[in-house]
Chains A and B, each alone.
Chain A
Amino acid sequence: KAGVTQTPRYLIKTRGQQVTLSCSPISGHRSVSWYQQTPGQGLQFLFEYFSETQRNKGNFPGRFSGRQFSNSRSEMNVSTLELGDSALYLCASSLIGGTAYNEQFFGPGTRLTVL
């Protein structure tokens, strides 16, 4: 079974631009979560989508948004990029989300650099 895939793997943007990252979960998984990883803050939870609805949200500004499609694929968008948005963005999928034991499978991440 194919793992979680994320595209693109690397991205360079400039301040003020916007960016869209994509995540394809493992087949059959309906929950997709996004995390941001930086050297200073570590791994931080952004949001979770389940059945096309945002079910859980971390403490990030509204510039960070996401959506999930009917095939469970998810995208996250960051508008008005800031230098501090440079990070590894990780996507994780799981079968049904948080109602029971729920192992999350992580993708390789998208490395975003903001210049």
Chain B
Amino acid sequence: DAKTTQPPSMDCAEGRAANLPCNHSTISGNEYVYWYRQIHSQGPQYIIHGLKNNETNEMASLIITEDRKSSTLILPHATLRDTAVYYCIVRGPGSGAGSYQLTFGKGTKLSVIP
């Protein structure tokens, strides 16, 4: 089962910042938080990941609370092309030694409104 909780949908005005929340209250100390997004009918696309520090790249920023029980993905200036389903994933161990897997939840459907 996914270890994250996200709102099913959100709207954001074009040009404004989109703030997508994620709860992961049972996260373990060595588990990373990953964010992917999936534009309709395409494969998921990696956005960003973090462990406990805030992270920023050319796509987004990731803010992780100090207790690591929740995080927020920030798209600083949302465009229509950012309309997608956004998945927050806690990367846990897989069944094989040294193996990890991504367990996707239902994600948040972000609609960017003109």
- The interface of chain A, by Cβ under 8 A from chain B, is 4, 33, 35, 42-45, 48, 50, 54-58, 88, 90, 92, 97-99, 101-109
Option from B97, B103, B106, B107 in Cβ contact (under 8 Å) with A45 = B103
B contact patch SS: loop
Interface size on B, residues (CB 8 A): 24
Task: Please state if B105 and A48 are interface contacts (CB–CB under 8 Å).
Answer: no
Complex alpha-carbon distance, A43 and B62, angstroms: 23
Is B102 part of the binding interface, using a Cβ–Cβ cutoff of 8 Å?
yes
Complex alpha-carbon distance, A55 and B99, angstroms: 7
A-B CB pair tally, cutoff 8 Å: 67
Complex alpha-carbon distance, A56 and B91, angstroms: 14
Known: A58-B101, A99-B98, A106-B45; 12 extra A-B contacts, CB below 8 A, are A35-B104, A42-B105, A43-B44, A44-B104, A54-B96, A55-B94, A56-B100, A90-B43, A98-B99, A101-B49, A102-B100, A106-B43
Task: Please state if B99 and A48 are interface contacts (CB–CB under 8 Å).
Answer: yes
Task: Please state if B94 and A108 are interface contacts (CB–CB under 8 Å).
Answer: no
Option from A42, A44, A48, A109 in Cβ contact (under 8 Å) with B43 = A109
A contact patch SS: strand
A97 CB to closest chain B CB, in angstroms? 6
Residue of B nearest to A6 (CB): B43
Complex alpha-carbon distance, A90 and B102, angstroms: 13
Complex alpha-carbon distance, A42 and B97, angstroms: 26
Residue of A nearest to B45 (CB): A106
Task: Please state if B42 and A55 are interface contacts (CB–CB under 8 Å).
Answer: no
Q: B45 to chain A: which residues have CB within 8 Å?
A: 106
**Residues B11-68 near A (CB distance < 8 A):** 32, 41-46, 49
Q: A107 to chain B: which residues have CB within 8 Å?
A: 43
Complex alpha-carbon distance, A106 and B32, angstroms: 19
Some 28 contacts from A to B, beta carbons below 8 A apart, are A4-B43, A42-B106, A43-B104, A45-B101, A48-B99, A48-B101, A50-B99, A54-B96, A55-B94, A55-B96, A55-B99, A56-B95, A56-B100, A57-B96, A90-B44, A97-B98, A97-B99, A98-B94, A98-B98, A98-B100, A99-B98, A101-B49, A102-B100, A103-B46, A104-B46, A106-B44, A106-B45, A109-B41
